[in-house]
Amino acid sequence: MLKAPRFWYKKNDTYLSNTLYPLSLLFRLGTRLRNIISSQRISELPIICIGNIVVGGAGKTPVALKLGSLLKQNGYKPHFVSKGYGGIETNNTLIKEWHSAQSVGDESLLLSEIAPTWIGKDRNKSFKLAKENGADCIIMDDGFQNPTIQKDFSIIVINGEQGFGNKRVIPSGPLRESISRGISRANLIIVIGEIADDIKRKISNSVPLIHAKFQISKDNKIYKNQKVTAFAGIAYPDKFYNSLDEQGAILEKKISYPDHHIFDENDMLNLAETANITKSILVTTKKDYVRIPKSYRSLVSTLDGEISFEDEGLLIEILGNLLENKINNIAV
């Protein structure tokens, strides 16, 4: 898995972006054709889809984790459905405690700590298995651009710091689809952090918007005034580095790996050597931590936190009405 090219997040046009632009047009054409010829399969369970417009992490998984917790607190029985990106398992499988990031992907492991989580290439089959095993609703991590999957309620997550990059579609930029098309299909937008003016102008007033922020867990270790070697294999590692910086950590080294990178023994030995030379401690994200060999995890600390919504009550009211309507219709 490759790192996001730096030119994707340059404000001005670059030679590479302009050169690849014709391929972006072909990608958009292919997407439209796929949408025309694809047929959608309907699930009996209400499906809440959490997606984004940019390639890589805008905060989908933290939002999914928080929504799962909120729905459970309000009496629902959500199951998560994920493709298991980054894992080798393709069959439809319920995540168990003995699964690893290599087999089912890192995001699936994190989701399974909150609620039953299904992975597999055929997500429609996962919906059926979830219903057979007691789910009354589904939270789907990703899949917003897949036209074959039913979405009763689609949430787009936007990271205010990350934005939309150069606002071009892959490979010329980081977008999975045009901003206007993506937003037009959304039922709700969740913005994490401060939102820039250029992003505000792209968001239609017709789509409800809820602000959110990533809060460090109260019981999390504080790294203020500590020398830190920070490392991460996530799509936008600057979010992690900035969080440590805001805590007052002294960042001796920032080491980035490709998104979903599986750490091996050589990686960990090199990181340990770097920390030893700089007399610093190793710190990573919780998402990266599950991809570290268990024998090396004692060497690494994590920066843990969760999403908090500015208007949690409104979000629960919106989703509660949706779920009750469909659950009642199923009962009838």
In angstroms, the CA 16 to CA 329 distance is 51
Q: What is the pLDDT of residue 40?
A: 77
Residue range 114-141: average pLDDT?
94
Asked if pLDDT for residue 1 goes beyond 70, the answer is: no
Mind listing the pLDDT tens digit for each residue in 32-73? 888 888 777 788 899 999 999 998 777 899 999 999 999 999
At residue 129 the predicted structure's pLDDT band, cuts being 50, 70 and 90, is very high
pLDDT for residue 311: 86
Q: What is the pLDDT of residues 240-298, one digit of tens each?
A: 999 899 889 999 999 999 988 999 999 999 999 999 999 999 999 999 999 999 999 99
The pLDDT tens digits of the residues spanning 221-230 come to 678 899 999 9
pLDDT for the residue numbered 115: 97
Per-residue pLDDT at 216 exceeds 90: no
What pLDDT sits at residue 78? 96
- CATH number of the 37-214+308-331 domain: 3.40.50.300
Residue in the block written with tokens 């890589």 = 56
DSSP per position, 56-112 = S-SSHHHHHHHHHHHHHHTT--EEEEE--TT-S--S-EE--TT--HHHH-HHHHHHH
- How far are the Cα atoms of 36, 149, 235, 250 from residue 154, in angstroms, in the given order? 20, 11, 22, 39
Query: How does the average pLDDT of the chain come out, rounded?
Result: 89
- The residue with greater pLDDT, 117 or 205, is 117
Report the DSSP beta bridge partners of residue 232.
256
Residue 90 has what pLDDT?
A: 86
Of the chain, the percentage scoring pLDDT greater than 70 comes to 95
Per-residue model confidence as pLDDT tens digits over 150-175? 899 999 999 888 888 899 999 999 99
- Which pLDDT score is estimated for 133? 96
End-to-end CA distance of the chain: 46
